[in-house]
């Protein structure tokens, strides 16, 4: 990205008069604005798609009133959320209460710095890309615990604590599943991982033909991703029937919208990361961006599909799946993948 800006400064005469610091800051802000616009649009489309798919999976129509087939429903909802009163409970810790949604949103926002859309359409070709995504996903946990604690409500606190237990434990199999891929690509950068995979499905890491260990790792990574984005069947932190709405019970209006967009953005990030790591990223029969977005949105559809198929697990079952099923399986996969990478 910096090389583009440098080229721009060299080619446009007026920009040479301006101090480079201002140009870089402006470019950073512009990049943030573009990404923010993209994720708000994607979140709106996904919320609409989720409601529509949910409706049809339950043999009903879903939103139908706002616009043709309810296509403007998300727009109406976001206007409503913007105009709603912003309340802070009396017992809440005001500063932390207001900071928490921003932290959660930031945790979901920063991975876009390294997520590639195609070979060249990427903000930063960081050489530790996947490590960066995994480590910054942890910011979200802090934000959620902060929201749960600062709300001054028992439901929020339970939700925050459950999420902390769930996300921290699911990050272990997630990271181990990433290691299976890293064993083959030999690099943590998302570009190098993508280049280690070919154009066709049997050349992807998700295919058992390439390596059975990464194929299992793909499933483990996706399930752990479901859990870390609090999607059903792992949506214990906001289980409606038990905890009202979990950690965001006390939030309303714009602050709730931050949580909501943050959640859907985190889903997008997990699906895009899965697509890059295991499904060959932008490799494929179509132009790069189409491949990448197609794979990402297919994985998002599977997330929605799973949500409207499976019931919610109990918290002990959630931890059981993580510690007694995914963790041993992913450990075996890491060892197997390492042996295969060394021996073959």
Partner 1 sequence: MRAVANYFRDIVAAIYTITLGLGVTMKCLFSKPVTLQYPDERPEVPDGYRGIHTYEIEKCIACNLCVQICPITCITLAYEGKGKNAVIHQYDIDYTKCLFCHLCCEVCPTDCVHMGKEFDLASYTRAECVIPFAKAAAVQKQE
Query: What is the distance between the alpha carbons of residues 294 and 222, in angstroms, rounded to a whole number?
Result: 17
Q: Which is nearer to partner 1, 114 or 333 (CB)?
A: 333
Q: Which is nearer to partner 1, 191 or 307 (CB)?
A: 307
What are the φ and ψ backbone dihedral angles of 196, each rounded to 5 degrees? -75, -10
Question: Rounded to the nearest whole angstrom, what is the least distance from the CB of residue 61 to partner 1 in the complex?
Answer: 5
Q: Which is nearer to partner 1, 61 or 286 (CB)?
A: 61
Q: Which is nearer to partner 1, 37 or 328 (CB)?
A: 328
Question: Rounded to the nearest whole angstrom, what is the least distance from the CB of residue 302 to partner 1 in the complex?
Answer: 9
Question: Rounded to the nearest whole angstrom, what is the least distance from the CB of residue 226 to partner 1 in the complex?
Answer: 12
**Ordered DSSP codes for 16-62:** GTS-HHHHHHHHHHHHHHHHHHHHHHHHHHHHHHHHHHHHHHTTS--
Question: Rounded to the nearest whole angstrom, what is the least distance from the CB of residue 300 to partner 1 in the complex?
Answer: 15
Query: What is the distance between the alpha carbons of residues 189 and 122, in angstroms, rounded to a whole number?
Result: 12
Closest CA to 275 of 330, 332, 225, 321: 225
Query: What is the distance between the alpha carbons of residues 1 and 47, in angstroms, rounded to a whole number?
Result: 31
Q: Which is nearer to partner 1, 108 or 232 (CB)?
A: 232
Question: Rounded to the nearest whole angstrom, what is the least distance from the CB of residue 325 to partner 1 in the complex?
Answer: 6
DSSP 196: T
Closest CA to 121 of 285, 20, 272: 272
Question: Rounded to the nearest whole angstrom, what is the least distance from the CB of residue 309 to partner 1 in the complex?
Answer: 4
Query: What is the distance between the alpha carbons of residues 218 and 203, in angstroms, rounded to a whole number?
Result: 14
The answer to whether 116 touches 156, Cβ cutoff 8 Å, is no
Query: Which residues fall within 8 angstroms of residue 343, CB to CB, at 6 or more apart?
Result: none
Q: Which is nearer to partner 1, 22 or 325 (CB)?
A: 325
Locate 27 and state its tokens. Answer: 């470019």
Question: Rounded to the nearest whole angstrom, what is the least distance from the CB of residue 265 to partner 1 in the complex?
Answer: 25
Q: Which is nearer to partner 1, 31 or 55 (CB)?
A: 55
Question: Rounded to the nearest whole angstrom, what is the least distance from the CB of residue 190 to partner 1 in the complex?
Answer: 29
Provide the H-helix boundaries in the chain: 2-11, 20-57, 73-83, 94-109, 129-150, 154-185, 190-195, 212-228, 240-243, 253-278, 288-307, 315-320, 327-343
Q: Which is nearer to partner 1, 9 or 45 (CB)?
A: 45
List residues binding partner 1 (CB under 8 A): 53, 55-61, 64, 305-306, 308-310, 325
């Amino acid at each position: 990205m910096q090389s583009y800006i440098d080229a721009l400064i060299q080619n446009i005469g007026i920009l040479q008069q301006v101090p480079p610091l201002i140009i870089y800051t402006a470019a950073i802000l512009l990049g943030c604005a573009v990404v923010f616009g993209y994720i708000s649009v994607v979140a709106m489309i996904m919320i609409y798609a989720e409601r529509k798919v949910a409706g049809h999976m339950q043999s009903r129509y879903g939103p139908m009133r706002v616009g043709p087939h309810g296509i403007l429903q998300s727009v109406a909802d976001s206007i409503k959320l913007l105009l709603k009163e912003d309340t802070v409970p009396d017992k809440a810790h005001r500063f932390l209460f207001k900071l928490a949604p921003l932290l959660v949103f930031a945790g979901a926002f920063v991975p876009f710095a390294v997520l590639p859309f195609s070979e060249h359409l990427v903000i930063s070709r960081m050489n530790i890309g996947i490590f960066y995504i995994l480590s910054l996903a942890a910011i979200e946990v802090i934000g959620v615990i902060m929201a749960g604690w600062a709300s001054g409500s028992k439901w929020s606190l339970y939700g925050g604590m459950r999420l902390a237990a769930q996300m921290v434990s699911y990050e272990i199999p997630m990271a181990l599943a990433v290691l299976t891929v890293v064993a083959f690509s030999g690099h943590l950068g998302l570009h190098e991982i993508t280049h280690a995979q070919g154009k066709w499905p049997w050349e992807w890491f998700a295919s058992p033909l390439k390596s059975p260990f990464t194929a299992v790792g793909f499933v483990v990574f996706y399930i752990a991703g479901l859990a870390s984005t609090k999607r059903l069947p792992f949506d214990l932190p906001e289980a409606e029937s038990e905890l009202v709405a979990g950690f965001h019970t006390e939030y309303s209006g714009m602050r709730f919208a931050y949580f909501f967009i943050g959640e859907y953005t985190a889903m997008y990030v997990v699906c895009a990361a899965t697509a890059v790591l295991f499904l060959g990223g932008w490799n494929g029969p179509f132009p790069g961006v189409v491949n990448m977005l197609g794979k990402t949105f297919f994985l998002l559809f599977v997330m929605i599909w799973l949500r409207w198929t499976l019931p919610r697990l109990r918290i002990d079952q959630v931890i059981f799946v993580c510690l007694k099923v995914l963790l041993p399986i992913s450990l075996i996969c890491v060892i197997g993948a390492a042996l295969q990478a060394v021996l073959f």
